[in-house]
């Protein structure tokens, strides 16, 4: 994997625009990555991801894919790219966050994370080594290290203990990665994850260790898990002061359109979040002028396009009134239209950020957009 920075935003911002090159194609940064937990982005066809949304890379989830369809099926298929028909880059998380969310059904030990399946209650173990093996079978272009994601409200004692465990797991996973090769004839990158909760000294310690490995890229985890937004932004700045500037930086699981712009401003290159599809399925639409709740009565006779200036066909063909009607009627098409719209908007937003980085006016544009994006229409 290669990363080339093409432009910097200039004075007052750490934003940059670049290109990540993988064996499955290039990714223009900053980038938003649609989440395809089970190998599919909910309610969205591969064709729509490519042509209507403009996705350059999608995510798969190691925990869920390990349980269903399972590694045997994925290996027989030739990896996730062959299994789901997506021929562009894929990133897989390590499953650490999903195990973290199963707090009542998991136990963390030095060996790894013991957990029960949410499907049938069966017992399983994720270790730093077997997670690398699973991600090799899935065949993602970018694989994430196994870590523990502590709650944003963790006290220092727990955060310290958690970070020490994550570091030991990382060293084991990094060794396994370097001792193995991909199964399908192309190279896979491995991103370590910086943890440390909301404690600057722990974040700095973790960032220095992660930077010392010289990985193809690095990630920032454990944010947007309960801490205030301003604390999240502070932690990003602390970490990015240390992570190497010539490698892509991935802020995991974040977030709102405002979060993304603030992350870009602080030097983050890659983002993912379930918000555009999950909120879309519940009737919330993101637009350049703010958010809309399509279930509200005010849209019942609004026959204007969903987003008049959009170049995505669903925004032009369907009116706000019609989409509201579909939601109120509980038609499945409503969720599909909203998901396509929201994902297209998120990709539009990062493309616009990239354009303004090249133009040299990113900072002023970002500040104007943040004001608009915070509105409820």
Task: Indicate which residue of 141, 265, 269, 272 is catalytic.
Answer: 272
Place of tokens 């966050």: 97
Neighbours of 322 (CB within 10 A): 17
Which two three-digit tokens encode residue 276? 């555009």
Query: Of 52, 93, 216, 315, which one is the catalytic site residue?
Result: 93
Check if 93 is active-site.
Answer: yes
157 exposed, middle or buried (CB, 10 Å; 0-12, 13-18, 19+)?
exposed
Residue 253 and residue 32: Cα distance in Å, rounded?
10
CA distances to 89, 97, 118, 278, 316 from 102, in Å: 29, 9, 8, 20, 41
CB atoms < 10 A from the CB of 187, how many?
11
| Closest-CA residue to 348 (of 276, 251, 241, 247) | 276
Q: Quick one: DSSP state of residue 105?
A: G
Q: Between 156-179 and 200-213, two packed helices, what is the crossing angle to 10 degrees?
A: 10
265 among known catalytic residues? no
Query: In this structure, what are the phi and psi dihedrals at residue 10, rounded to the nearest 5 degrees?
Result: 105, -165
- Residue 22: strand pairing partners: 25
DSSP class of 95: S
Q: List residues with catalytic annotation.
A: 93, 272
């Amino acid at each position: 994997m290669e990363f080339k920075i093409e432009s910097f935003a200039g004075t007052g911002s750490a934003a940059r625009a670049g290109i990540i090159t993988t064996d499955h194609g290039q990714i223009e940064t900053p980038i938003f990555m649609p989440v395809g937990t089970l190998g599919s982005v909910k309610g969205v066809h591969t064709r729509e991801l490519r042509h209507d949304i403009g996705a350059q890379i999608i995510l798969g989830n190691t925990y869920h894919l390990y349980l269903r369809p399972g590694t045997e099926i994925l290996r027989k298929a030739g990896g996730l790219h062959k299994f789901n028909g997506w021929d562009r880059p894929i990133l897989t998380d390590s499953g650490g966050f999903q195990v973290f969310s199963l707090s009542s059904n998991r136990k963390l030990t030095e060996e790894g994370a013991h957990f029960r399946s949410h499907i049938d209650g069966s017992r399983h173990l994720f270790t730093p080594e077997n997670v690398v093996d699973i991600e090799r079978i899935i065949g993602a272009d970018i694989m994430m290290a196994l870590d523990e994601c502590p709650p944003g409200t963790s006290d220092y004692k727990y955060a310290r203990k958690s970070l020490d465990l994550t570091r030991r797991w990382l060293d084991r996973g990094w060794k396994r990665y370097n001792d193995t090769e991909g199964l399908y004839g192309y190279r896979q990158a491995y991103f370590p994850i910086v943890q440390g909760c909301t404690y600057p000294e722990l974040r700095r310690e973790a960032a220095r260790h992660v930077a010392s490995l010289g990985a193809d890229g690095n990630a920032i985890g454990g944010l947007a898990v309960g801490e205030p937004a301003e604390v999240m932004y502070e932690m990003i700045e602390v970490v990015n002061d240390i992570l190497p500037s010539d490698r892509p930086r991935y802020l995991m699981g974040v977030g709102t359109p405002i979060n993304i712009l603030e992350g870009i401003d602080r030097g983050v290159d890659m983002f993912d979040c379930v918000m555009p599809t999950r909120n879309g399925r519940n009737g919330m639409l993101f637009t350049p002028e703010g958010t809309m709740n399509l279930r509200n009565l005010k849209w019942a006779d609004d026959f204007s396009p969903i987003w008049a200036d959009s170049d995505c066909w669903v925004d032009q063909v369907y009116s706000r009134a019609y989409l509201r009607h579909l939601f109120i009627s509980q038609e499945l098409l409503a969720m599909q239209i909203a998901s396509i719209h929201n994902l297209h908007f998120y990709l539009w937003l990062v493309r616009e950020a990239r354009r303004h980085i090249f133009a040299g006016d990113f900072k002023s544009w970002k500040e104007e957009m943040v004001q608009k994006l915070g509105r409820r229409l």
